[in-house]
Structure 1
């Protein structure tokens, strides 16, 4: 994100001419390559502004690919309706109930058009009925995981079909589902408190051996290792919001700070056959 990303360079990596790459990308994504890059950069700045309070706005903007502070300010206000300084004062929305997001002050996130702000909820919806008691949550050092993945873009409540597709592919790959330590993952690349639901990027993944060469319909990446606040849960489809609320409450109450890496869910295949309820899942938030 901090490197120049010209259309010519990106098209060359994809083995297309710039003209054809621009046309195909725009048709697939519903936005131009330049528009996509700018949006993702601005959204990453917004996320880091609320997660890394000790870093300056200029430093964060530079790390996300903005070399001109004036153009950055203009782009940020265009996307969020407030300046970066004003946005940083807003407390991050981390709690969810019925697909709506709230911050610890009980303010409801309102993300419409190209503006973002918080409203006082009539009755604060986050309470004991939206968390899980006696959860197993602790700081863990997680290893890196090499995975094959299929990207899903959209409402994360609709990710089931992508899992079906990955499981179908993995079942044909020489016992990939039954390798020792095998696990499925959902990796979240965007923050729903800043990115609109229809643009959220998620990767549905399964661990692969070091020398494995995946082909269509999957690609290959590494999930970062490091320090995570990790919670272990047994969940039904309807309990994921409560589980995430519970681990975020622990993060806030114990004073942990976010680390710049992706949040993920991990389902060990030995415990899930195949991903039938209740799901036995580790929820992992990267922390400093």
Structure 2
């Protein structure tokens, strides 16, 4: 039964990866059932039973998520171009669908996103993807001696619902200062739980590695460092929006069994590739647990 279940899950995961890789293609029931190697007469029911979403709804949400990221973070693309890439033949059709889902027009979202409806809209997509989330084992964890890295820090303090706005400002600031991710590593330091009892207690630092003098460009930017030393490292490949399962595995499962002790610095991650630059299943992040 275990082997059969693993095979079934692998086939379904193959479908999700195919969808993410081919968001611009005609993702009809015939092609997706063939990817899964299931009969098309049963595939739709199997997909809905597994993920809680129909195939059509899943594809719509995946396309709309990519479109919203491009609107919020890319800047250079036109609303019409983004709508066409999302599968809409006309700008007004894209605008209607976008407004229905997020309560804003695409142009309004591009200028000033309202992130709470955005988070709510993609809740079903996140839940669906978590159904086949990879489980970690001790063999996935390696211990590295990490060098000290000087960083520029933009702090986010307050509700997770407003994190998107901080990320927008962080991206705009690093573009203005020429700190491109290809040459300057990107880190997130978690200084609170992902879901603290009070949303106002949510606290993370967005960091970019640089030896340059820190120029704020109108933003509240601080100089700091990611301290060097021994770290347990867990690589996560695919769907790296939510790294809480990886962090929990390191703290709750790996650390007590390892005989190691945690150092006095928060758990953090380095993001090695970014959505929508790559499909979501190809995004990569390393999660670091500092050790004594």
TM-score range, shorter chain: 0.3 to 0.5
Give the number of the structure whose residues are more often helix, by fraction: 2
Higher normalized strand content (fraction of residues) = 1
